[in-house]
Amino acid sequence: MGALDDLIDKLEDLKDFYKKNSNLDEQIEKLEKIKKLYEEIAELQEKIYKLFSILLSNVP
């Protein structure tokens, strides 16, 4: 039964691997959301900079 035991061990290892890495999709999703937030922040910073430029150009 050595071959069967080896197969069972390999299946257990595979199960452990998938348990450890099962949240990779979640982590990728979170990173994509963070990236999107940073892009939005960059856009807002540009708009704020433009607004301050306009405001400062109108200061006597």
Count of structural domains, the chain: 1
Does a structural domain hold residue 14? no
Instruction: Compute CA 57 distance to the chain's CA centroid, rounded to the nearest angstrom.
Output: 40
Q: Indicate whether 23 pLDDT > 90.
A: no
Specify the pTM. Answer: 0.57
Q: CA 14, CA 9: separation in Å to the nearest integer?
A: 9
Does a structural domain hold residue 13? no
Does a structural domain hold residue 15? no
Q: CA 11, CA 5: separation in Å to the nearest integer?
A: 10
Residue scoring higher pLDDT (12 or 1): 12
Q: What is the per-residue pLDDT for 57? A: 92
The arithmetic mean of pLDDT across residues 27-35, rounded, is 90
Q: What percent of the chain has pLDDT over 70?
A: 98
Does a structural domain hold residue 53? yes
Q: What is the per-residue pLDDT for 1? A: 60
The residue segments making up the domain with residue 27 are 23-60
